[in-house]
A and B are shown apart, each in its own frame.
Chain A
């Protein structure tokens, strides 16, 4: 029984903000630290600063109170003010894995003169279900598809 064909749906969010796309893009990126919840980080030391470096290849990371840097991913597409595509390389165990690729896409579309529609998508979540690091995640996830099917196969003696 194939496991790779099972795909969880992408996470999609749509919001409207009171700003031009230029400003919304700038706040999302250059102003990243001004809005990113400080409660959301990986590693053991509290998060001090959250950063998205500008341009393709820019690093997306957290700078911590103990001085450590923890990478989260990197910039794949930098197309201000219309589109930002980030690689989110954090596993289900909240560890950075350079071989894991899930994509976070943010599109900014002007509505009239002073509002922007923000289309957010986090996709490729099925990749959280394969690869080395994800193997352990899979085993640890109660509701994971793969673990269900693997358990079934084991139970069925397949």
Chain B
């Protein structure tokens, strides 16, 4: 984790404001500029720094670009759970396919 980069990104009060706005929900540059006392190019510049620090992500939405708090913000645990559920649901799907030709619902014989 590049903490120095993050600290630098957060050291600017306007950037912290931008981040707090994004914490309430995804937003485009124009919307952010309207609600902050800075110009649109300035907001773009702040977003660039925040993105570089890994604090926000962006995605295209038609002609504009929408910024949001990095959805992986809870870091390791979310990434772990994401992979965990992939594994579990793959196993579920495989179990369903194994049972696909059964005529009876699954029995509880495995239950204690």
Contact = CB atoms under 8 A, between A and B. Distances in A.
Interface residues of B, number: 44
A5 B77 contact: no
Contacts, number: 136
Nearest to B54: A143
Contacts of A31: 95, 99, 106, 110
B73 interface: yes
Most B C-beta atoms less than 10 A away, residue of A33, A120, A156: A33
B3 interface: yes
18 contacts: A5-B20, A15-B92, A19-B100, A23-B99, A23-B102, A27-B99, A30-B105, A34-B106, A51-B111, A51-B112, A63-B112, A92-B77, A125-B77, A125-B78, A143-B75, A144-B74, A151-B3, A152-B7
A22 B93 contact: no
Given A11-B81, A15-B93, A120-B89, A142 B20 contact: no
Interface of B: 1, 3, 6-7, 10-11, 16, 20, 23-24, 69, 71-78, 81-82, 84-89, 91-97, 99-100, 102, 105-108, 110-112
